[in-house]
């Protein structure tokens, strides 16, 4: 399905309403029935913002994470104790490369503002409490996690709490 066509037709080039009652959400759920609504909504916003085609996205996701029908997700966000060491080597490299949000190697629009917002939301909180309520999206392989979404939150939380912090995550992994 071409997101661009559906996007332009249904939403007149604005950010679409994302919910159970949209054609796009129903289509995505039909292709990704194991995926939680939060993950689908997050990806719809990302796909629409980048005018990426959904089928191309599915192909790339399957190449990275395996057969889509075998991916199992937590239905509700789980509390994780986040530490840099929990992540896979690629995620660790990318987190460290961002230098606490000071470096923007990918040219992400409004990157500095997004880091500033996230830093403001977590500063001064006790890392033993849940410091970030909005979940990140991770994929678990063995004992390591790959960060898929929630980079600004994670970078700022690790910058302010380098020994670790608690937060929510939707966790995907290959099932049987």
Residues 6+ apart with CB under 8 A from 88: 141, 144, 145, 146
Residues 84 and 59 placed together within one structural domain of the fold:
no
137 φ, ψ (degrees, to nearest 5): -120, 120
pLDDT in tens, the chain (176 residues): 444 444 443 443 344 444 556 777 788 788 888 888 888 888 777 776 666 677 888 888 899 999 988 999 998 999 999 999 999 999 999 999 999 989 898 888 899 999 999 999 887 788 788 888 889 999 999 999 999 999 999 999 999 999 999 999 999 999 76
- 79/23 same-domain check: no
- Judge if 25 and 46 occupy the same domain: yes
Number of domains observed in the structure of the chain: 2
108-to-98, 111, 118, 157, 166 alpha-carbon distances in Å: 11, 5, 15, 19, 26
Quick one: 22 and 82 in the same domain?
A: no
Q: Give me the domain span that covers residue 20.
A: 3-66
- 87 with 138, same domain: the answer is yes
Distances (CA, A) of 31 to 21, 38, 57, 98, 131: 16, 15, 12, 34, 34
- My answer on whether 78 and 102 are in the same domain is yes
- Domain harbouring 128, CATH code: 3.90.1530
């Amino acid at each position: 399905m071409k997101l661009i066509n559906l996007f332009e037709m249904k939403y007149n080039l604005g950010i679409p309403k994302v919910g159970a009652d949209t054609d796009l959400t129903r289509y995505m759920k039909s292709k990704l029935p194991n995926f939680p609504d939060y993950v689908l909504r997050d990806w719809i916003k990302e796909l629409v913002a980048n005018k990426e085609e959904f089928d191309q996205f599915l192909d790339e996701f399957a190449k990275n994470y395996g057969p889509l029908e075998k991916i199992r997700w937590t239905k509700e966000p789980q509390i994780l104790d986040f530490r840099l060491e929990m992540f896979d080597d690629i995620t660790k490299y990318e987190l460290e490369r961002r230098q606490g949000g000071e470096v923007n190697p990918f040219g992400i629009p409004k990157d500095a503002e997004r880091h500033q917002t996230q830093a403001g939301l977590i500063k001064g909180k006790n890392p033993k409490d849940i410091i970030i309520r909005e979940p990140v999206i991770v994929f678990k392989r063995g004992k390591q996690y790959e960060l898929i979404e929630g980079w600004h939150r994670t970078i700022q939380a690790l910058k302010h709490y380098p020994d670790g912090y608690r937060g929510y995550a939707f966790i995907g992994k290959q099932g049987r």
